[in-house]
Amino acid sequence: MNPLLTPSALPFGAPAFDKIKTEHYLPAFKKAIEMARSEVDAICANSDTPSFPNTIDALARAGQALEDVSNIFFNLNEACTSERMQEIAEEVSPALTEYSMYVRLNRPLFGRVKAVYEAREALNLNPEQMRLLEETYKSFSRSGANLPEKDRAEYSAAQEELSLASLRFEKNALDATNAFVLEITDEKDLEGMPAFVVKAAKEEAAARGSQGWVFTLQAPSYGAFMSYSANRGQREKVWRAYNTRALGGKSDNSGNIRRIVELRERIARLLGYKSYSYYALEERMAKDPETVNAFLADLMAKTRPFALKEMSELREYAASKGFEEDIMPWDFSYWSRRLKEDRYAFTSEQLKPYFELEKVKKAVFGLATALYGLSFERENNLPVYHPDVEVYKVCDGSRFMGLLYMDFFPRESKRSGAWMTNFREQSIEGGEEKRPFVSLVTNFTKPTADTPSLLTFGEVTTLLHEFGHCLHSLLSEGTYSSLTGTNVVRDFVELPSQIMENWAFEKEFLNTFARHYQTGELIPEENIDRLLAAKNYQAGYAFVRQLQFGILDMAWHSGENLPQTGVAEFEASVCAPNAVVPIIDGTAMSPSFTHIFSGGYSAGYYSYKWAEVLSADAFDYFRQEGVFNREIAGSFRRNILSRGDMEDADVLYRKWRGRDATADALLESEGLVKKN
């Protein structure tokens, strides 16, 4: 029996990762697609008058086996992939797109959906059922169901090609990241690097069977090298490698970018939209590109002066240390780190011993206990997909809320970054509640033979961020998986994650876990004071950098003709007006910008800043009432975390906050408001 298609006999119905083999995926996909098509056909063949139960509810349940297989395969393809899995992804992608088109362009099926939709006012549906009906109808309409016959084939072909191009993009970005290795054999070239960076590089070299010290483009290695290496020539080499990933060469993504953008525009225009950005934004809080562009431009105008001032200060500081050249991109992290250490009299290395991963993790769990009454118990007997993975049973009192899989450390089979996904969404089926199986993945520094995994403060906030996404899923309460958990509009989904980061700056929270991993000493009060004082260090630069990513995303999806220049030239032309550091010819981030070209953030990267506005405004409410206030937290859980996509996001927020969010709290919290 194929374990991907067999009901799990494990506690909670957990995935049988110990039995799932790579060779199971392809047969499972083929069988699951066949089953899904049969379920759809049964709905179409039903001779009864279309109703909510026999059409909308039945369609919401159809394809569950396919969803289960897809959730496991595609999550592992990002977290623990192989060459064969990447081949399978490309092989099944056309079949998945074909099935999707079979559903969305199915005339008899849409006819039944439309009949129920048109009779909706007389059906006496509850609010959740009405929401599902409306969203189902819109999803058909936005997926080509109303297209004339002549356009349907073109739409279907474009979607199939788009899915393949996105897979190729992600594969190339991963391959390009893994392709670069800097091997240092002369100890003099380690100048400036603290012991923990040197040790990690030594162990990386040993793992590769190399002598000396090895640095890669994986986040922990790359970030540390750029911040600490005193060797400017090598910093430039590593920076250029990072910023030319998949730009030219064997893993070039230039053609994939152009094709992805072209296909998205073609699809949007076939559906009657002026551009892809209009299509994508219609279902988000922002609604249209004019709102997004105005939002980004307004914040850029308010924050860029601060970023330019910060750069001027950095140049002056570097000059005072004898650096006579202009600050180039490969210099920024190095001099920024040095200035921060001098200004606030502490270093990231001094703080790391107080942020042992195990203690941070327990503190994050403790925060969820304090706010929402949740408990977390390690499940050592459940199988995992890699030895690094840990599983926790999450409960609210005696009620089982879900499983949380945590995968912390980098490896070549894992893409860079940090993210949260689900192996199973929360739903209720046949009166039985299915609680979610949630996955939290990061790329933190691995423990060494004599040192546990120690986090930077930035990694502490990253863990809180992704854990916020996990809570959004674990606390969901609904009947239909498409309306629960993180299945909300893109510019709202980051609110539950970003609000969690704020607790990292609260002394009361830090004092619950920040103890030296060797001595047990509580983090000194002066270190907390310095950490809080440094909270807004170069906030203007960081703000502008994120805004630039959003502006670049919108430029790629503006609907104008594809640029005749190359990818790097186009990116430079978009970024130049707001540049804070020099733009280097022949480099670009677009070829490795997986968020917008293979992830879900196309015409949506702005949503990080949009959600920051929401989260700052929301946490300001917590701060007014008490950051551990159970009443406010309970209301946040009831009105936002548990509600998924039951109502429009702006309605959910107003129900909790009592008003719409403003940017005031964000700009004030980051010190980006000019004081009179």
Give the residue numbers annotated as catalytic, written as ranges: 466
The 10 Å Cβ neighbour count of residue 531 is: 20
Picking from 371, 346, 240, 329, the residue whose alpha carbon sits closest to that of residue 541 is: 329
Neighbours of 378 (CB within 10 A): 11
Angle made by CA atoms 175, 181, 186, in degrees to the nearest 5: 180
Residue entry with tokens 């923990």? 196
Structure tokens given for 322:
């004898």
Question: Quick one: which H or E segment has residue 187?
Answer: none
User: 590 — phi, psi (to 5°)?
Assistant: -55, -40
Q: What is the SS3 assignment for 560-584?
A: CCCCCCCHHHHHHHHHHHHCCCCCC
The three-class DSSP label of residue 340 is: helix
Q: At what angle do helices 329-344 and 219-228 cross, to 10 degrees?
A: 70
Task: Show the beta-strand stretches assigned E in 192-287.
Answer: 213-216
Helix or strand run (H / E) with residue 531: helix 525-533
Amino acid at 77: N
Alpha helices in 286-356 (DSSP H): 289-320, 329-344, 348-351
592: CB partners within 8 A, 6+ apart: 173, 176, 177, 245, 246, 253
The two structure tokens encoding residue 614: 């929401």
DSSP string, 391-440: EEEEEETTEEEEEEEEE-S--TTS-SS-EEEEEE--EEETTEEE--EEEE
The tokens describing 326, both together, are 């202009």
Q: Is 345 in contact with 530 (CB distance < 8 Å)? A: yes
Q: Which whole-number Å values give the CA distances from 645 to 70, 107, 374, 429, 604, in the listed order?
A: 22, 27, 23, 18, 18
- Put residue 417 in one of left, alpha, beta given phi > 0 → left and psi -120 to 50 → alpha: left
* Residue 36: CA count within 13 A, CB half-sphere: 24
Instruction: Please give the structure tokens belonging to residue 397.
Output: 């009192």
C-alpha dist (Å) from residue 148 to 107, 138, 154, 545, 576: 11, 17, 11, 43, 43
Distance (Å, rounded) from C-alpha 482 to C-alpha 291?
Answer: 27
In sequence order, what are the residues at sequence separation of 6 or more whose Cβ sits closer than 8 angstroms to the Cβ of residue 48? 54
Q: At what angle do helices 649-657 and 607-625 cross, to 10 degrees?
A: 20
Distance of alpha carbon 624 from alpha carbon 626, whole angstroms: 6
How many Å apart are CA 409 and CA 414, to the nearest integer? 9
Return phi, psi of residue 423, to 5°: -85, -25
The two beta strands, 399-407 and 390-396, are antiparallel
For every residue of 602-617, which 3-state class applies, written as one string? CCCCCHHHHHHHHHHH
How far apart are the C-alpha atoms of 46 and 128, rounded to whole Å? 24
What is the DSSP-derived secondary structure letter of residue 8?
P
State which amino acid sits at residue 17: F
- CA quadruple 667, 668, 671, 673: dihedral sign: positive
* Residue reference for tokens 């240390």: 321
Distance separating alpha carbons of residues 101 and 95, to the nearest angstrom: 10
CB 355 within 8 A of CB 374: no
